[in-house]
Chains A and B, each alone.
Chain A
Amino acid sequence: MLNQVVEYSTRQLDAVYAAIAHPVRRRVLNQLRPRGATVTELAAAHPISLAAVSKHIRVLEDAHLVRRTVVGREHRLTLEPAALGVAAGWLDTYRQFWEARLDLLEARLRARKRR
């Protein structure tokens, strides 16, 4: 049970860290902070192609950091706060990892003694 919890949050963290590891994606997140933006607005602020910006946006969407709403032709992006909340708890994730490891070590030591 605990292992499942750890596994689940490490999966989420994986995606979040991979997403924010890139400076362009961090900049995109900062741009989206006040009230979101359209894909075109975002692309205009970056000296890279629309295709390249779109790729970065997709990574952020896959990590559930950014939500896309399509209204007519406009693709509007807003921040998804929940995923960043997961990242904020990353020290706790480490604690859970080690608590779970030590639980297992303790169980193995007990089992060994009974043999």
Chain B
Amino acid sequence: MIDPEAIEIQRRLPAPIGEVFRWWTDPDLLKEWMTPVGTVEADVDLRVGGRLRIVMKGDGRVIEHTGEYLEIDPPRRLVFTWVSPYAGSVPSVITVELSDAGEGLTDLRLVHAQLPDVAARWHRGGWDAMLDRLGSRLHEAEGLPHAG
């Protein structure tokens, strides 16, 4: 079980484990896929305590993500912190686990955890109750049945 404030995604990827690990750690390869829009800059200091910096640019916006490597165990495991403008200024933690699925395929499991900083702050301010209420109001407005 992972905590409810984390997301977990699993994927089978069409490349051997070592290559998938490189696509997660080589800045030139990260640039190829690590942005929703436009271009990306990537700086990687691949050692425990080393920094990573991924700048997504496009659509008139520049979004800087930064982090620090916590665990590096090639080609199986990579753990790094992730500071994103969308998760508040406190780092969340991303764990990438790879396993050999045979026939040149790799199973990837990504866990993005400790996202709750925003949620935790909301809880303290009674925001969860407020959101529940607003949620049911939205359901009413849409003529949908209540969730609970």
- A residues touching B (Cβ–Cβ < 8 Å)? 3, 6-7, 10, 13-14, 17, 20-21, 26, 29-30, 33, 79, 81-82, 84-85, 87-88, 90-91, 93-95, 97-102, 104-110, 112-113
Q: A110's closest neighbor in chain B, by CB?
A: B14
Chain B residues, Cβ within 8 Å of A84 = 130-131, 134
Contact partner of A88 among B20, B88, B131, CB < 8 A?
B131
Chain B residues, Cβ within 8 Å of A104 = 32-33
Q: List 30 A-B contacts (CB under 8 A).
A: A3-B37, A7-B37, A17-B88, A20-B127, A26-B127, A81-B134, A82-B138, A84-B130, A84-B134, A87-B131, A88-B131, A88-B135, A90-B118, A91-B5, A94-B112, A97-B36, A98-B9, A99-B9, A101-B34, A101-B36, A102-B11, A102-B13, A105-B13, A106-B14, A107-B33, A108-B33, A109-B14, A109-B19, A109-B23, A112-B15
Number of A-B contacts (CB under 8 A): 90
- B residues touching A (Cβ–Cβ < 8 Å)? 5, 7, 9, 11, 13-15, 19-20, 23, 32-34, 36-37, 59, 85-88, 108, 110, 112, 115, 118, 122, 125-127, 130-131, 134-135, 137-138, 141
Contact partner of B125 among A7, A26, A91, A98, CB < 8 A?
A26
Contact partner of A106 among B13, B88, B135, CB < 8 A?
B13
